Structure 1
């Protein structure tokens, strides 16, 4: 977030009073009851200064952000979703190795849920960790309006930390106007689609401005950070407040929690990081690109119940890629402003001249924009897939693989610092190449796309098929 954006927002709408808040939670019961989730319009003040006006937003169960859905590992999620919006939508369960029919991708795994209709999502939860759910139809607009929430899967081998030691932090940037309201009119701007995506000028945590959260002194506390921004890569330095890394994208780090060996931590759109703190004094979560900008405050006090101990979770059962027997595929990313537009084909037609502005298809994988009729690759079940992704654009991208977790094996031929960390979304810099590998053990049609949501809508979306 640029310093100009911060200062503009503060100057126009004043400093916000801090509040303490956390998302509501919906717990599954042992008999596997159906949880009710609906998408509907709601009003919410994104900036809680006296001058700011409520915004017209969309939320799950009328909340910004949506309720935390909480399960035990191995349980079956049963979620009855109702669309109370004025346009079709669907729900994607991000990062969960899910049965394909329940992945929630409109136009690929299901038809979008029409206004007034209901869809029942039912799927097993194989992995413990931090996940989230969000709209997956016109995501660039629907997620920007507030359609997202956290989903937490607790491990079965030990009792989870109590609520006061387990804090979910959904981080989002919003583009606010001079009255502190959500700038709806700027949705779909061609400048955003062709450049770095939609960037906001104000950060919230769980839908609130500059919250204060109370922690118990010395108590091991898990901070679950989820980047729900449309396009912003957040820069955070956990070492500034003595935090250790517990997990990435829902998967625990190997061994014990680790101190970040470099700085800052880049948290891209859709990525998650779990941090472990044992606070001794008050501290703040800061965005550290340029001058540090504190956006979430932690007050540390004594007293209360004895703290529960932290137990590092066991690794989830994800198959390791075969070192040699692999299906290898190269993806050349092109397009966007100041980049290599090259030849782009959309819906079987080569784009020329005014076609780009008319279709808003500005990015491509191997020369093809958006979902093609045929998959970019077809893998046998249990076959190891190696993707060599080359970013021939002028922008960084957050690449997400549906239905699988992968290992990042190489960047620019120099290897990687964390070869054993599972991810479901990876960042790739301009002119960089990145190699990832995973076992295609989940049959169905799976998306591969940029999670800068404007980039995905403008062409950076493809799919692959895993045979049953």
Structure 2
């Protein structure tokens, strides 16, 4: 059983336990003795059985069980101590057991709410709110029902409860309330020489074809995807961005391309958003070969989804001739792009498929009719990639895989989520049952790049209630906070930096650090055993823990965020700052 499954199962167990205690209390209030005892006994059994999920979660990582052990377990045991005697020796009038049973339900519910609404890390303010909530619910219930089993509670208890609520709320709202200030006024374009490749991209609203139908889009040069940008190693690329009528502004972010910070295209971090009628000129040297893409980073959850993206391919200065096919996969108005293409290829020709996932969710790619090699991932060549057959690859949001194969007389087809998007001829294949390639075990290992780690950060991904705005929101959080309230990560030039990323949530988070590729060290404690894996986008599944590292060699202020772009917009964004 995976840690992600344990997280979901533990949540279900907690809900059942809380519902059982509350149901038993409600039955007791109605004088239903037998129902109250059955529900209470079941709740007691489920409460004690929860150790079977909490203990393994704690073993998988303290992040997954901290609040369950430090707060949930004491509350649950207190509820059991109070309620269990009422089940073993129920009073003659079962209504006298009501408050004890409800107290156990309130205790379970309070701990459950901490997990659902706050998560990790557990704070003093949250503990105070949880305890005060249990006390307040019990006091109010006793007062409203006039329960004879309720002890005589002096008024001071109510005052203490209110004080705990106030103190807890104050601590929660104040925690991490300082908002980082990112001043990009001192950034300037790097001196890279005269451009050898010039492009102009105009962003604007448009109507484009998708799946044979006209759909409204935001587009570069009136097309989705935007114009393909190509260059050779050593070129100086200059791109002039114009905004015709995108009211919320646009920028260009070169996804996975480790450009100088001033060219990274992140509004309010490296530049201002380009508003209608304005322009911005990007210039950088093409010093990385491989498959990349560009997209707006202004209101990116909307802009990218609406079509403001395109491809960037940088070829080696000298490369062997091959059939080079770029396949950017995107969902526009519910229709998968690109439309299917048939491209005959002569037998014996080398073919390179450059697969790009521009969506916010993972896509499954399968090549039917030929064995293939994964030559590169995220623009970085793999070491000794073996040929595989009947194997699918999962590409995370923002990620890229280059597949190479030699064409034969038989037809070859590329399927995305079971749908053919490119082929050399008629192909009929059922790929749903194929094994999925694990990039951490693929290819030949290489030497470790570093003998030391200078700085470490841990990012715990979750959902939680963000109270730092005028209106509360249920945000995607990092270490219990949501943007812009997440503290910056501070590094020094030349340091080897390790990131540990743990996903407590029930959804996938494709992680993306700007300006750097990271070397994968471990996933769930298992060493990366294949080719050295340098990524800029990788899926952190529910319950997974990734350990990655990079050299801090590209100064500036860099976004570090989930590339499910709605998640980033809803709080899961922080920044890496050089000092």
CA distance in structure 2 between the partners assigned to 1:149 and 1:30 by the alignment:
24
CA distance in structure 1 between the partners assigned to 2:572 and 2:310 by the alignment:
24
1:204 aligns to 2:337 (yes or no):
yes
Q: How does 1:69-468 map to 2 (within 5 A)?
A: 69-87=229-247, 88-156=249-317, 158-159=318-319, 161=321, 165-174=323-332, 182=333, 200=334, 202-205=335-338, 209-229=339-359, 231-238=360-367, 241-255=370-384, 257-260=385-388, 263-280=391-408, 281-288=410-417, 292-299=418-425, 321-335=449-463, 341=464, 344=466, 346=468, 355-356=472-473, 362-372=475-485, 374-375=487-488, 377-418=489-530, 420-467=532-579
1:38 aligns to 2:202 (yes or no):
yes
CA contact (8 A) 1:441 1:466 kept: no
CA distance in structure 1 between the partners assigned to 2:534 and 2:388 by the alignment:
16
Change (3 A) 1:322 1:33: closer
CA distance in structure 2 between the partners assigned to 1:320 and 1:410 by the alignment:
13
CA contact (8 A) 2:368 2:390 kept: no
Structure 2 unpaired stretches of 5+: 1-192, 427-446
Task: Render the CA deviation track for 1:163-195: whole Å, top value 9, x for unaligned.
Answer: xx1111111123xxxxxxx3xxxxxxxxxxxxx
CA contact (8 A) 2:371 2:389 kept: no
Q: Secondary structure at the match of 1:101?
A: helix
Question: How far apart are 1:419 and its partner, in Å?
Answer: 5.4
CA contact (8 A) 1:408 1:419 kept: no
CA distance in structure 2 between the partners assigned to 1:439 and 1:116 by the alignment:
39
2:39 aligned residue? none
CA contact (8 A) 1:398 1:425 kept: yes
CA distance in structure 1 between the partners assigned to 2:393 and 2:223 by the alignment:
29
Question: How far apart are 1:90 and its partner, in Å?
Answer: 0.6
CA contact (8 A) 1:90 1:106 kept: yes
Question: How far apart are 1:262 and its partner, in Å?
Answer: 9.2
Change (3 A) 1:345 1:391: farther
CA contact (8 A) 1:219 1:279 kept: yes
Structure 1 unpaired stretches of 5+: 1-28, 175-181, 183-199, 301-318, 336-340
Question: How far apart are 1:146 and its partner, in Å?
Answer: 0.8
Higher relative contact order (CA 8 A, sep 6+): 1
CA contact (8 A) 1:46 1:55 kept: yes
Task: Render the CA deviation track for 1:387-426: whole Å, top value 9, x for unaligned.
Answer: 0000000011110010001111111112234350211111
Q: Secondary structure at the match of 2:302?
A: helix
Change (3 A) 1:133 1:346: farther
Change (3 A) 1:31 1:269: closer
CA contact (8 A) 1:239 1:259 kept: no
Change (3 A) 1:444 1:82: same
Question: How far apart are 1:33 and its partner, in Å?
Answer: 4.9
Question: How far apart are 1:369 and its partner, in Å?
Answer: 0.8
CA contact (8 A) 2:203 2:242 kept: yes
CA distance in structure 2 between the partners assigned to 1:44 and 1:327 by the alignment:
48
Q: Secondary structure at the match of 1:38?
A: strand
CA distance in structure 2 between the partners assigned to 1:248 and 1:152 by the alignment:
13
Task: Render the CA deviation track for 1:98-120: whole Å, top value 9, x for unaligned.
Answer: 10011000111111011110101
2:96 aligned residue? none
CA contact (8 A) 2:487 2:574 kept: no
CA contact (8 A) 1:403 1:442 kept: yes
Structure 1 or 2: more helix by fraction: 2
Question: How far apart are 1:320 and its partner, in Å?
Answer: 7.0
Structure 1 or 2: more strand by fraction: 1
Change (3 A) 1:221 1:239: same
Change (3 A) 1:253 1:134: same
CA distance in structure 2 between the partners assigned to 1:295 and 1:32 by the alignment:
33
Task: Render the CA deviation track for 1:137-168: whole Å, top value 9, x for unaligned.
Answer: 11111111111111111112x23535xx1111
Change (3 A) 1:242 1:263: closer
Return 319-328 or 141-150, whichever deviates more.
Answer: 319-328
